[in-house]
Amino acid sequence: MKQRFINRREAIKAAAALGTGLAMGGLDLLSQSMAALSVYKPLDPVRIGLVGTGSRGTYLLRILTNLKHNLVKAVCDIVPERAANAQKIVEEAGGPKPAAYTKGDLDFQRLCETEDLDLVIAATPVDWHVPVCVSAMKNGKHAATEVHAAYKLEECWQLVETAEQTGLQCAMLENYCYGYDVLMILKMVRSGLLGELIHAESGYQHDVRNVRFGQDGSLLWRAQDMLTHNGNLYPTHALGPVAQWMNINRGDRFDYLVSMCSKSRGMNVFAEERFGKDHPSAKQVYMQGDVSTTLLRTVNGLTVTLYYDAQLPRPFDMMYRAQGTKGIILGTSDRIYIEGRSRWEEWETTAQYRKDFGHPLWDTLGRVAGQYGHGGADYIMMYRLIEAFRTGQPFEVDVYDAAVWSAVSPLSEVSVAQKSKAVDIPDFTRGKWKTNRPVEIFEA
Ligand SMILES: NC(=O)c1ccc[n+]([C@@H]2O[C@H](COP(=O)([O-])OP(=O)(O)OC[C@H]3O[C@@H](n4cnc5c(N)ncnc54)[C@H](O)[C@@H]3O)[C@@H](O)[C@H]2O)c1
Residue range 293-337, pLDDT digits in tens: 999 999 999 999 999 999 999 999 999 999 999 999 999 999 999
> Helix or strand or coil: residue 179?
coil
For residue 3, tell me if it sits in a domain: no
CA distance 59 to 42: 25
- Please work out, in degrees rounded to the nearest 5, the angle formed at the alpha carbon of residue 258 by the alpha carbons of 435 and 317: 85
Do the Cβ atoms of 296 and 425 come closer than 8 Å?
A: yes
Which of these, 46, 401, 45, lies nearest to 246 by C-alpha position?
401
Ligand 1 midpoint to CA 241 (Å): 22
Same domain for 196 and 100, yes or no, is no
Q: How many angstroms separate the Cα of 144 from the Cα of each of 63, 176, 178, 392?
A: 15, 15, 16, 15
Q: Whose CA is nearest to atom 21 of ligand 1?
A: 54
Rounded to the nearest integer, the mean pLDDT of the chain is: 92
| 207-233: burial string, b at 16+ Cβ within 10 Å, e else | eebeebbeeeeebeebbebbeebbbbb
**Residue 14 covered by a domain:** yes
pLDDT on residue 328: 98
**Whether pLDDT at 124 is above 80:** yes
Residue 350 to residue 187: CA distance in whole angstroms:
13
Phi-psi region of 101 (alpha: psi -120 to 50; beta: other; left: phi over 0): beta
Q: How far is the CA of 57 from the centre of ligand 1 (A)?
A: 7
Element (H, E) at 63: helix 55-65
Coil, helix or strand for 119? strand
Whether 232 and 94 map to the same domain: the answer is no
Which of 124, 153, 176 terminates a domain? The answer is 176
Q: Are 127 and 276 within one domain?
A: no
Q: d(Cα 50, Cα 75) in Å, to the nearest integer?
A: 5
388 occurs within a structural domain: no
Q: In this structure, are 152 and 185 located in the same domain? A: no
Ligand 1 pocket (Cβ < 6 Å) reads: 51-57, 76-79, 82, 105, 108, 123-126, 128, 146-147, 175, 374
Atom nearest to 82 CA in ligand 1: 39
Has residue 440 been placed in a domain? Answer: no
Residues 182, 107, single domain; the answer is no
CATH number for 272? 3.30.360.10
Indicate the number of domains in the chain.
2
Rounded to the nearest angstrom, the distance between the alpha carbon of 100 and the centre of ligand 1 is 17
- Indicate whether 423 and 304 sit together in one domain: yes
154 and 200, same domain (yes or no):
no
pLDDT at 26 over 60: no
Tell me, in angstroms, the distance from the centre of ligand 1 to residue 118's CA.
21
* Top-confidence residue, 407 or 26: 407
From 50, 107, 124, the mutation candidate for ligand 1 (largest count of ligand atoms within 8 A of CB) is 124
Span 145-174, average pLDDT:
97
**Separation of CA 341 and ligand 1 centre (Å):** 46
Whether 27 and 119 map to the same domain: the answer is yes
The answer on 238 and 249 residing in a single domain is yes
Q: pTM of the prediction?
A: 0.91
Look at residue 88 and tell me whether its pLDDT is greater than 70.
Answer: yes
Range of the domain at 63: 8-176
Residue range 178-198, pLDDT digits in tens: 999 999 999 999 999 999 999
Q: What are phi and psi of 354, to 5 degrees?
A: -65, -35
3-state SS assignment for residue 165: helix
Instruction: Indicate whether 2 belongs to any domain.
Output: no
Examine the domain organization and report whether 137 and 187 are in the same domain.
Answer: no
Q: What is the DSSP code string of 311-333?
A: SSS-------EEEESSEEEEGGG
Q: Is the pLDDT of residue 10 over 90?
A: no
User: Ligand 1 pocket test: which of 50, 146, 206 has the largest number of ligand atoms within 8 Å of its C-beta?
Assistant: 146
Protein residue whose Cα sits closest to atom 8 of ligand 1 = 56
CATH code (residue 16): 3.40.50.720
According to the model, what pLDDT value does residue 443 have?
Answer: 73
User: From the CA atom positions of the chain, what is the Rg in Å?
Assistant: 22
Classify residue 1: in a domain, yes or no: no
Is there a contact between 71 and 46 (Cβ–Cβ < 8 Å)? yes
What whole-number distance in Å separates Cα of residue 235 and Cα of residue 242? 11
